[in-house]
Structure 1
């Protein structure tokens, strides 16, 4: 019985689908390297890696509770533990609270500015699941939520959040808009039936163009960021590889098939890793 419950909890937090927390992790680590001017040390690395995993898992719990009545009408999400009744709303909320508290415990090992930023991060995490009812492009709200590791990284290293971090956050928001629109394209038909608002629906026939433009803004802003910090050819080689990956995603989504769009979404963490690897290597070779 305990083993079955534990397996359900792992399913609830998408433990077997790490792409979600990897999408959060790579820009956070990129910001951490920018803030520290290179290697940030084991303590901050552990705090942000573990904190990212914990908060993404907590967010899954909150999201599934908020969307349980909608998810049963969407083929891809109908079998989620809360939606099908295998995990109660109370269990999911308790698990989410425990995970968030563990993440907060990690934040407490940093400094006051980071602690204050963590409250804002929690607030946007709680708000996002409900944005899909009211906001035409809720992916923009998700973009803010998925980018909060950036100012927190600067706060942890420098005890302040410079304008440079705001540029990184803005650029990363467009990456989130790109990959979560791909994700929304998978469920567009179901979302139209149940009245859910998504960027794929709002952009309509311009969805593919919007995705590619968003990739372009993200990569341009982060390329500028690396150039402004004097990162060399290895960083720009990584940006070039990321551009090639974005072009491949265009091939996957241009026909708007469910399988193609979902594959493009799932592979985005490699694009994020490529950019981060370029930043880390660029600092290492300076």
Structure 2
């Protein structure tokens, strides 16, 4: 392997950086990618430009990695007290806080340059809001029980950006899609927060899982129902065909499966429910893609 030609200490350092940026855990990038593709396909009536596909695919992976670095920087004093995160590079001391800041800034700048060089002025202005959301979200769990709402806004901001890049404007349909994705993000990140709820209660970190308490599964079900409802409105307003609605049915079935996985509120079941959302996002994209081919 190529890595065998690198000095041992450099291999270790690169591995730690990769873990900090979650290169080994692409789920977050995928949860960002599918809604971005939804927006590109809808804004372009099923035929997005290759340039925008490349820019936004790269941008998703760059900004997700930057977000992971700044998130671990914000949580560097609490991650060591959480069983799932105590071995991460920052709390374990293998990566220094300043390194995380430099990596996050470099990645965000790279994504910003893609927007500057290959998209339009409106997308550029919108990207500034996306950077702000990405950098403030990790600190919200100290001030509000709704950090998942800030994550939802951060994870959904690529929707108006992609729409602006493809259509030159951001329509009401784009904001409707934005709302659907915020609701979806709050739902699936509540599953994620349920994994750490016991540890978070001990160290004083806030989340929707703590806010909802025993009503967590009911609230997730309500949020998921609203996601389907808003996406139906998107389909009606965009005049989409049958394949799109088949995708929504698949998403709804996956939502029911997720609630089943989390029925006992066990860590493993909640985490599996969270991971399953990758397929929910893909189902909607597949419906959009097939609908564009049929049209």
Q: For the Cα contact (< 8 Å) 1:55–1:103, is it kept in 2?
A: yes
The two structures have a TM-score, normalised by structure 1, of: 0.98
- Are residues 1:47 and 2:55 paired? yes
**Which residue of structure 2 aligns with residue 28 of structure 1?**
36
1:98 to 103, 106, 115: 106
Distance in 1 between the 2:122 and 2:68 partners?
26
Work out the number of aligned pairs and report it: 286
2:130 to 121, 125, 146: 121
- Are residues 1:74 and 2:79 paired? no
Greater alpha carbon shift after TM alignment, 158-167 vs 247-256? 158-167
Distance in 1 between the 2:251 and 2:115 partners?
31
1:272 to 276, 281, 287: 281
Residue 123 of structure 1 deviates from its aligned partner by 0.4
Greater alpha carbon shift after TM alignment, 93-102 vs 55-64? 93-102
Distance in 1 between the 2:240 and 2:125 partners?
31
Residue 227 of structure 1 deviates from its aligned partner by 2.5
Q: For the Cα contact (< 8 Å) 2:62–2:111, is it kept in 1?
A: yes
- Are residues 1:182 and 2:191 paired? yes
Distance in 1 between the 2:123 and 2:195 partners?
36
Query: CA offsets, 1:175-199, max 9 Å, x none?
Result: 0011000000000000000011100
Residue 261 of structure 1 deviates from its aligned partner by 0.1
- Are residues 1:150 and 2:159 paired? yes
**Which residue of structure 2 aligns with residue 236 of structure 1?**
245
SS in 2 for 1:72: helix
Once the two structures are superposed, the pairs formed by residues 241-260 of structure 1 within 5 Å of their partners are 241-260=250-269
Query: CA offsets, 1:30-72, max 9 Å, x none?
Result: 0111111112021000011110000000000000001111111
Residue 74 of structure 1 deviates from its aligned partner by 0.4
- Are residues 1:138 and 2:138 paired? no
Residue 164 of structure 1 deviates from its aligned partner by 1.3
Q: For the Cα contact (< 8 Å) 1:8–1:87, is it kept in 2?
A: yes
Distance in 2 between the 1:191 and 1:164 partners?
37
Residue 271 of structure 1 deviates from its aligned partner by 0.5
- Are residues 1:64 and 2:72 paired? yes
SS in 1 for 2:244: helix
SS in 2 for 1:78: coil
**How large is the Cα RMSD of the aligned pairs?**
0.9
- Are residues 1:110 and 2:125 paired? no
- Are residues 1:204 and 2:200 paired? no
Distance in 1 between the 2:176 and 2:248 partners?
17
Residue 223 of structure 1 deviates from its aligned partner by 2.1
Q: Once superposed, which parts of structure 1, at least 4 consecutive aligned residues long, lie more than 2 Å away?
A: none
2:292 to 275, 283, 286: 283
Query: CA offsets, 1:107-138, max 9 Å, x none?
Result: 11101010111110000111101110111211
Q: For the Cα contact (< 8 Å) 1:226–1:279, is it kept in 2?
A: no
